[in-house]
Amino acid sequence: MTTFEDLGFKPEILKALSELGFETPTPIQEQTAKVLIETDQDVVGLAQTGTGKTAAFGLPIIHDVEPEITHIQSLILTPTRELCIQVSKDLEKYAKYLRGIKVLAVYGGTDIKAQIKKLTENPHILVATPGRLLDLINRGRVDLSELGILVLDEADEMLNMGFKDDIEEILGRTPENRRTLMFSATMPKEVSAIAKNYLYNPLEVTIGKKNESTNTVFHHYYVTTSSNRFNALRRIVDAHPDIYGMVFCRTRAETKEVAERLVNHGYNADALHGDLSQAQRDLVMDKFRKKNLQLLVATDVAARGIDIYNLTHVINYNLPDDAENYTHRSGRTGRAGKEGISIAIIHSREFNKLHEIERVIKKTFVQQMIPNGLEICQSQLMHYFNKISELKADKEGVSKFMDEAMERLGGLSKEELIEKMVAYEFQHLLNDYKNAPDLNIEPPKKEQRRRNDGDSQGGRQDRWERGGDNNKGRNRQRDNRGDDGGNWEQVSVNIGNNRRVSPPQIIAIINKALGNRRGQIGRIKINQSNSLVELRAQDTSAVLQVGSVKFDGEEVRFAKA
Ligand code: AMP
């Protein structure tokens, strides 16, 4: 096994690594270190965060710094301020026992004067976000004419965020004979183009697979008619009261229209598109970043440069024409170990596009049913109950009104009071959805066969005919299909109201346990600390065999109920 000593790092670096607990090099470090230390070759590393890529480029950079030379020797460009700070901190740790090495991070959104002052101390290594760096270059505060090494870290994210022009301008300010290293989690054609134009005969190292979409994102699709697209969106949002998401549209006009209709229906939504002034755009983004806005409706172009990746959902109101754009969209969720859902609302003629995306991201979309009224009310009620049970009442503040409240309501029984509370909150929703039609449409037969993979289950109706004690409905559906599909068995999942789980999330958990295959799911009952799910016998044994899956960063276990 290769060690850091074998790779030839200076003893001071080895000491720092041993303190950091780095025992052996990770694959990307092992595969790039020798080339980086012993040759001048450029490198393209296809690697995600978590593979040790920072040390892969950081250790050779530290190893090569000459402290007595006072110009900037290495520059690392990162897409976000957070990564910029992280990388500079990591480099400082690796350089802990080497004397006189100065690392400086410069990034936007903070006072530029302090950074200008620090620049006068002649850092050897500069870690920067592109916009701020260009600003500093244009003010004559950064000179890259003697630069030795340039690193483009998370190149795909930088391009995704709209930094292409800035990067090219920065590259133009560096010497031709610089060495260039580029790291990227995916290799869309824009990133390949940068590599082709600015890197010379690079060594290519791939850790994991090219163009893979993030693992923690579930890809779901809902099928409806074009005319019901908006209503389907509303239902999906209604069934996820905790949603914090982006809705992607194809055009400015559609973005405006969808946002306007959402607002008119009382949703906490706004639009981001090219017609907004910078000030308006900043205002919308500030609200969204602070989560004072639940839904941001945007075009791909307008969304570039937005560094928000902690969404619970990404909704493709219309699928993008380019599969790479889908990767960018869906990459805004499922980060930092959290699970996210990327949803496509499609009509029956859009399966080709869906297949094309599946081919590129190497993931399968799982069909979900557009929730019916009962489902939505259940989700919302659950959310409401959770909010009430978790509420820490300001007893002192409320005490002033308690006498009157007791006088007016104290005579009601507990049941009556709860009934009235629920009715007060949900009457309008119940009324709204009272006779709401089923918005789902059957995918074309060819598609059903493809997706069911030989499974003769009738498909969708059974999944959503559950909840309450609607046994009658479900049995009727089964009889109608003339296919009883075997017996239902109950599986217990150790997650319930205590973790604010919703029926769609339970379905996602089961599907995950089934290897992202769409299982046939009967009734779901969500209790305080567990949920009971009806599954077919073969799915029950598959799920029990898997035993557990990760959900929202935590282990969720299955047991026979
Ligand atoms: P990165 O991919 O650069 O974000 O690194 C992911 C994490 O792995 C960071 O917390 C690093 O400190 C850590 N790390 C990097 N290289 C090694 C190594 N050789 N051994 C142990 N941990 C490492």
Segment of 84-98, 353-367, 536-550 carrying the highest mean pLDDT: 84-98
Q: What whole-number distance in Å separates Cα of residue 194 and Cα of residue 159? A: 10
Query: According to the model, what pLDDT value does residue 187 have?
Result: 84
* Secondary structure, 3-state, 342-390: EEEEECCCCHHHHHHHHHHHCCCCEECCCCCHHHHHHHHHHHHHHHHHH
Query: According to the model, what pLDDT value does residue 561 have?
Result: 83
**Torsional sign, CA 399, 404, 407, 411:** negative
By alpha-carbon position, which residue is closest to atom 20 of ligand 1?
A: 22
> Class for domain 217-372, per CATH?
alpha beta
Query: According to the model, what pLDDT value does residue 470 have?
Result: 31
Q: Which atom of ligand 1 is nearest to the CA of 24?
A: 19
Q: What whole-number distance in Å separates Cα of residue 342 and Cα of residue 332? A: 9
Query: According to the model, what pLDDT value does residue 496 have?
Result: 85
Half-sphere exposure in the Cβ direction for 228 (13 Å, CA): 17
Q: Which atom of ligand 1 is nearest to the CA of 51?
A: 2
For residues 222 and 341, is the Cβ–Cβ distance under 8 A? Answer: no
Segment of 63-77, 326-340, 493-507 carrying the highest mean pLDDT: 63-77
Q: How many CB atoms lie within 10 A of CB 454?
A: 5
Chain centroid, CA 211 distance in Å: 16
Expressed in angstroms and rounded, the spacing between residue 31 Cα and the centre of ligand 1 is 15
For residues 40 and 179, is the Cβ–Cβ distance under 8 A? Answer: yes
Expressed in angstroms and rounded, the spacing between residue 82 Cα and the centre of ligand 1 is 16
Whether 217-372 and 459-560 share one fold: the answer is no
Taking phi first (over 0 means left), then psi (-120 to 50 degrees means alpha), and beta for anything else, what does residue 459 get? left
Percent of the chain with pLDDT over 70: 91
Q: What whole-number distance in Å separates Cα of residue 308 and Cα of residue 190? A: 21
> Class for domain 11-206, per CATH?
alpha beta
Query: According to the model, what pLDDT value does residue 212 have?
Result: 45
Q: What is the CATH number of domain 459-560?
A: 3.30.70.330
By alpha-carbon position, which residue is closest to atom 11 of ligand 1?
A: 52
Q: What whole-number distance in Å separates Cα of residue 35 and Cα of residue 57? A: 11
- Average confidence (pLDDT) over 111-124: 95
Expressed in angstroms and rounded, the spacing between residue 307 Cα and the centre of ligand 1 is 23
Q: Please give the biggest Cα pair distance in the chain.
A: 85
Q: Which atom of ligand 1 is nearest to the CA of 25?
A: 19
Cβ < 6 A, ligand 1 pocket:
22, 25-26, 29, 49-55
Expressed in angstroms and rounded, the spacing between residue 21 Cα and the centre of ligand 1 is 10
- Average confidence (pLDDT) over 108-114: 88
What residue has token string 């006068």? 120
pLDDT tens for residues 151-178? Answer: 999 998 888 777 889 999 999 999 999 9
pLDDT tens for residues 400-422? Answer: 999 999 999 999 999 999 999 88
pLDDT tens for residues 522-534? Answer: 888 888 788 989 8
CA angle at 289 for the pair 248 and 376, rounded to the nearest 5°: 55
Query: According to the model, what pLDDT value does residue 305 have?
Result: 62
By alpha-carbon position, which residue is closest to atom 8 of ligand 1?
A: 52
pTM of the model: 0.51
Which of 1, 20, 89 is the pocket-test mutation for ligand 1 (most atoms within 8 Å of CB)? Answer: 20
Q: Which atom of ligand 1 is nearest to the CA of 58?
A: 3
Query: According to the model, what pLDDT value does residue 215 have?
Result: 54
Q: Which atom of ligand 1 is nearest to the CA of 26?
A: 19
Q: Which atom of ligand 1 is nearest to the CA of 90?
A: 12
- 10 Å CB burial of residue 369 (0-12, 13-18, 19+) is buried
Query: According to the model, what pLDDT value does residue 337 have?
Result: 55
Chain centroid, CA 536 distance in Å: 31
pLDDT tens for residues 258-316? Answer: 999 999 988 999 999 888 887 888 889 889 988 999 999 999 888 876 768 789 999 99
Expressed in angstroms and rounded, the spacing between residue 157 Cα and the centre of ligand 1 is 20
Which of 22, 28, 53 is the pocket-test mutation for ligand 1 (most atoms within 8 Å of CB)? Answer: 22
Expressed in angstroms and rounded, the spacing between residue 98 Cα and the centre of ligand 1 is 20
Q: What is the mean pLDDT of the chain?
A: 85
For residue 507, CA distances in Å to 364, 463, 518 come to: 16, 9, 9
Query: According to the model, what pLDDT value does residue 96 have?
Result: 96
Expressed in angstroms and rounded, the spacing between residue 96 Cα and the centre of ligand 1 is 16
Q: What whole-number distance in Å separates Cα of residue 5 and Cα of residue 10? A: 8
Domain ranges of the chain: 11-206, 217-372, 374-390+401-433, 459-560
Structure tokens at 432: 């709204």
Expressed in angstroms and rounded, the spacing between residue 56 Cα and the centre of ligand 1 is 9
Query: According to the model, what pLDDT value does residue 462 have?
Result: 34
Q: Which atom of ligand 1 is nearest to the CA of 54?
A: 3
Query: According to the model, what pLDDT value does residue 163 have?
Result: 87
* Better-predicted residue by pLDDT, 343 or 449: 343
pLDDT tens for residues 191-248? Answer: 999 999 999 999 999 886 444 444 578 899 999 999 999 999 999 999 999 899 999 9
Q: Which atom of ligand 1 is nearest to the CA of 22?
A: 20
Expressed in angstroms and rounded, the spacing between residue 71 Cα and the centre of ligand 1 is 28
- Average confidence (pLDDT) over 461-485: 31
Query: According to the model, what pLDDT value does residue 452 have?
Result: 57
By alpha-carbon position, which residue is closest to atom 16 of ligand 1?
A: 52
Percent of the chain with pLDDT over 90: 50
